[in-house]
Amino acid sequence: MTTAGDAPEGMRFTATGLDGCYLVEPVRRPDDRGFFARTFCADEFTRRGLTAGVAQCSVSHNAAAGTLRGLHYQVGEPGEAKLVRCTRGRVFDVAVDLRPASPTFGRWTGVELSEENRLALFVPEGFAHGFVTLEPASEVFYQISVPYRPGDSAGVRWDDPALAISWPPMEPLTISARDRALPTLEAVKASGRLPGP
C-alpha cells in the first residue's frame, strides 16, 4: 500500500543556475490509453522552498511566429512568481534575475517550451520574464502567485546589450509598442524600479 508520504514525485525539478529558477518536467505515467502526468503540486513546490500559491492564471495566444513578449515583471510586495508552459506550438522562454542583492543579478536562462516536451519554467519573485514564439498559433499558459497590479507593472528591454540574451537566430516580427519602449537595465536601476530584495 502506498501512503501520501511515500508517493512518487510527480514532477522533476532541474536547477537552471539561477537561484530559485527551475525547469519543471511532469513525470509521465503511460498506459494503453496514453499517459497521465501531474503539472503542479503545491506540496512539491513547498518542499523545495518555492512559492506554491496560485492567485491567477492567464493564457497568451500568439498568431505569428516571431512574436516577442517581454521582458516583464512586477515591483512591490508581494513579489510575483510564475509557472510558465507552452500548451500549443513552441516558444523560447527567458527568465532574468533582477534581484539587486542576488549574486546572479542580470543573468538569464532560456529554454524551449513546447506542447511536445511539456516542460514548464518556474520564474521566481524578482525575475523578469519573456518569450518569442517559434511557431504560429503558439499559446503560453501562466500560473501566477499574485494578481496583476497595473501600477506595479514594469519591464526591461528584450535586446538590452547588458543582458546579452542569446535569443533564437530570427528577427522578432511582432512586438507591442509598450515592449518596444521598455527601458534598459541601466535605466531601470537608475529609476529604482527593480523588483524585490
Q: Which position has the grid cell 537608475?
A: 190
List, in order, residues 6 or more apart from 195 with CB less than 8 Å away: 73, 74, 75, 79, 80, 98, 99, 125, 126, 127, 128, 154
Q: Which of 22, 72, 73, 129 is catalytic?
A: 72
Work out whether strand 174-175 and strand 67-74 pair parallel, antiparallel, or are unpaired: parallel
61 as an active site residue: the answer is: no
> How buried is 45 (Cβ within 10 angstroms: 0-12 exposed, 13-18 middle, 19+ buried)?
buried
Cβ 38 vs Cβ 56: under 8 Å:
no
Rounded CA-CA distance 58/139 in Å is: 10
Catalytic-residue membership of 72: yes
Angle at CA of residue 115, ends 114 and 119, nearest 5°: 60
Helix, strand or coil, per DSSP, at residue 7? coil
Residues tagged active-site:
72, 142
